[in-house]
Amino acid sequence: MDHPGGAITGTVQAQAFPYVVAVRALCEFTAKRGDLDLRFTPSPSAQEGMLGHKLVTARRGGHYECELSLTGDYKNLSVRGRADGYDGQLNQLEEIKTYRGDLAAMRANHRALHWAQAKVYGWLLCSKLGLQDLNVALVYLDISSQKETLLVECFTSAALQQFFEEHCERFLAWAKQEQAHRQARDATLAALQFPHESFRPGQRELAEAVYKSASSGRCVLAQAPTGIGKTVGTVFPLLKAMPSQKLDKLYFLAAKTPGRRLALDALARVMHGAPRPLRVLELVARDKACEHPDKACNGDSCPLAKGFYDRLPAARSAAVEAATLDKPALREIALAHNICPYYLGQDLVRWADAVVGDYNYYFDMTAMLHSLAMANQWRVSLLVDEAHNLVERARKMYSAELNQSSLRAAKKAAPAALKKALDKLGRAWTELHRDQETGYQVYPTLPQKFSSAMLQATSALMDQESAAPGSLDARLQEFLFEVLRFSRLGEQFGQHSLFDVTLSTGPDGKAHSTLCLRNVVPAPFLASRFAAARSAALFSATLSPTDYYTGMLGLPEDTVAMEVGSPFRAEQLSVQVSRHISTRYTHRQRSLAPIAALMARQYHARPGNYLAFFSSYDYLEQVAAGFAQSHAGIATWQQSRKMGETERDAFLARFHPGGQGIGFAVLGGSFAEGIDLPGERLIGAFIATLGLPQVNLVNEQMKERMAAVFGSGYNYTYLYPGLQKVVQAAGRVIRTLTDEGVIHLMDDRFGRAEIRPLLPAWWSVEGYAGAAAK
């Protein structure tokens, strides 16, 4: 077991050696060999592993020493860790590992890594106690049977010392290189100059807030308008703060691919001409990085997994010489060394200075960036781009569903040995909602009987796979993963979530149910992620009201909230409220004609490129069809359901300088934020509805929960999320200090007094737009 402060990469300061490295990290770097193999092998959970360690040590007696803190030096390396146990009577050091299934099926490279760790601990113990020889044991505990298997070898102290020094020597050159890189990196960042002659209006204010938050170790929630250069304005000050705050890494977390691209561009711009390049790594989803999607991730199937760890050192060395490892650059290096690009990227997180990736890499339940930061005790600071998206994204991260049809499919595929456990789960499932009279119902708790049946079913499935690896049908594996996720979230169930059951009729005509653990308030899950970071800056054009975002995201009490003044003038944008139009659901049909008339009138008054936003595809299609029929002379194009990347690019290409026409899009969709259409590419927008989520049974239950938690059910469930989408969509119109345009807010409710504070302060809103267009 590693010393909690030990890590390969986390604590390199601008100072002389020693370079501190954990035993496990050292061995993973020097002793990991063979194939990449991600075949599903049920392994004990972290909690089961800890309990297993306690069980083994409890069996040893009072003379047994547990968790021995050990340290040893070799040249300029300081190696640290905690050995699991030492039996002085047997002169035996033990490294304890828990497992499921057939121990003989354990892969050789895993066993070799375990022996390497045990032997390094062995030398550290010999050095500490002055031992001449030592029994080194691997203790494998079967979690299911609680049976121990001991593998014991006797080594002389000299042999263990030789093994230790050989592995240190393999790592020493890399350690020297990494320390030199860190010293040069920090010197470069300390002298870094702003990449432009001057800051844009509002950009300096934002940059100063980010720098102060990093210096004070706090979070800042910054609402800053589009067009001030938020990405450069946040990246630059955080890079400047890295040396003085001894930051190991910057994590730039984005909601969508365009956000990652902006971050990579900003990092390149800020570091342009710097004497020492910053190591910048882009993380992409596995399905987008995979070279062989038809093959499994193991050496028997994929050529890029075969011998992965044998070729990794050379690929790693080549990669750290590159300044920016975006998707194309990483792919090129990986394929040159015949290894998987995705998993090369995973390894390079340890050696990167700035990591750019999706929210889920840090905030998800099993997020890699958070796990590595905690395990290595890295000092990291976060930049969270377009942070208004994090509420809904985090809800999805901490929600789970179980569908009864999945259980039925699993039962059909199950061998006889699994029938009993799955039948028991099916009975508990049916009993759970037997008395439910409505199609949708929320329950106060997850019944213990059902939870127990889930636990038994997962244990049976994992035992089956452990006993006969590869024997689980794909339907059984998929069901197992779904149940494991549901169970894990069920253990953390609380006021932050709903447990609901939806009854329906399946495609087979049979009645079935869907169970959902539906996260409403992600704050309890996210709070620890923000607390783990040295600092965090969350920024967006729409982060008001402040209390909504701080409460929903679990930000610390000392979070600094700020609003950067807009560089734009009210004269640049005509904002008009159409009080004669109601887009309420019951009024939709009669809103079609006045919306079309208003759009045509505005277009004829000033021809050019416009976007029209609607709350749903159905509404969009109704308006678009009527508009095309009554105003055939005006060119139109529209967003379609499940639009691919090529189709999205074609949609945006229609917005060219000198172009004319109206693009129809969905409010809250891919064209409502994150796109940049300056100047004549876009001169106006029509926004129908307040963007309010649909009133339905689920949202009404969420409203009740919001009222219970925050005392403001309607605003937190409907109003604030809706207006956020409106402001984001409207923000597409004015992108530079020279842009001029118009926004039509097509609903009488925009004229209400309680709505105005939720719209940008720099807007000058005209109350009626029914008579004339500007």
Confidence of residue 695 (pLDDT cuts 50, 70, 90): very high
Q: How far apart are CA 184 and CA 176, in angstroms?
A: 12
Residues 6+ apart with CB under 8 A from 312: 32, 337, 339, 344, 347
Task: State yes or no: pLDDT of 708 exceeds 80.
Answer: yes
Q: How far apart are CA 697 and CA 695, in angstroms?
A: 7
Burial of 355 per CB tally in 10 Å (0-12, 13-18, 19+): buried
Task: State yes or no: pLDDT of 349 exceeds 90.
Answer: yes
Task: State yes or no: pLDDT of 82 exceeds 70.
Answer: yes
Task: State yes or no: pLDDT of 6 exceeds 70.
Answer: no
Average pLDDT over residues 533-544: 96
Q: How far apart are CA 323 and CA 188, in angstroms?
A: 14
Task: State yes or no: pLDDT of 393 exceeds 60.
Answer: yes
pLDDT at 767: 58
Q: How far apart are the first and last CA of the chain?
A: 70
What are 419-466's pLDDT values in tens digits?
Answer: 999 999 999 999 999 999 999 999 999 999 999 999 999 989 988 887
Confidence of residue 104 (pLDDT cuts 50, 70, 90): confident
Average pLDDT over residues 328-332: 96
CB atoms under 10 Å from CB of 558, counted, come to: 9
Confidence of residue 40 (pLDDT cuts 50, 70, 90): low
Rounded to the nearest integer, the mean pLDDT of the chain is 92
Residues 6+ apart with CB under 8 A from 84: 1, 53, 56, 57, 66, 67, 94, 95, 96, 139
Task: Cite the DSSP H helix spans in 665-736.
Answer: 697-710, 713-714, 720-730
Select from 443, 575, 429 the least CA-distant residue to 512.
429
What are 168-219's pLDDT values in tens digits?
Answer: 999 999 999 999 999 999 999 999 999 999 998 899 999 999 999 999 999 9
Task: State yes or no: pLDDT of 604 exceeds 70.
Answer: yes
Task: State yes or no: pLDDT of 357 exceeds 50.
Answer: yes
pLDDT at 560: 97
Residue 637, beta-bridge partner list: 663
What are 396-419's pLDDT values in tens digits?
Answer: 999 999 999 999 999 999 999 899
CB atoms under 10 Å from CB of 746, counted, come to: 27
Average pLDDT over residues 36-47: 74
CB atoms under 10 Å from CB of 434, counted, come to: 7
Torsion of CA 744, 746, 747, 748, to 10 degrees: 50
39 vs 339, more confident: 339
Q: How far apart are CA 314 and CA 347, in angstroms?
A: 13
What single-letter amino acid sits at 36?
L
pLDDT at 10: 40
Average pLDDT over residues 233-246: 97
pLDDT at 49: 79
CB atoms under 10 Å from CB of 528, counted, come to: 11
Contact by Cβ (8 Å): 534, 214: yes
**pLDDT exceeding 90 applies to what percent of the chain?**
79
Select from 379, 359, 378 the least CA-distant residue to 534.
379
Confidence of residue 16 (pLDDT cuts 50, 70, 90): low
pLDDT at 1: 45
Q: How far apart are CA 161 and CA 124, in angstroms?
A: 8
Confidence of residue 99 (pLDDT cuts 50, 70, 90): confident
Measuring CA to CA, how many Å separate 421 from each of 100, 319, 443? 18, 49, 24
DSSP 4-32: TT--SSTT--SSPSPEEEEHHHHHHHHH-
Residue 81, beta-bridge partner list: 70
Residues 6+ apart with CB under 8 A from 151: 137, 138, 140
pLDDT at 555: 97
Contact by Cβ (8 Å): 399, 516: yes
pLDDT at 422: 95
Confidence of residue 17 (pLDDT cuts 50, 70, 90): low
Measuring CA to CA, how many Å separate 238 from each of 167, 192, 302, 432? 36, 11, 40, 51
CB atoms under 10 Å from CB of 118, counted, come to: 26
E-strand ranges in 173-318 read 219-223, 249-254, 280-282
DSSP 140-151: EEETTT--EEEE
Pair of tokens at residue 369: 């960036």
pLDDT at 467: 74
pLDDT at 490: 94
Q: Is the pTM of this model over 0.85?
A: yes
Residue 69, beta-bridge partner list: 82
Select from 377, 367, 321 the least CA-distant residue to 346.
367
Q: How far apart are CA 637 and CA 611, in angstroms?
A: 10
Burial of 205 per CB tally in 10 Å (0-12, 13-18, 19+): middle
Return the ∠ at Cα 666 (arms to 661 and 670), rounded to 5°.
95
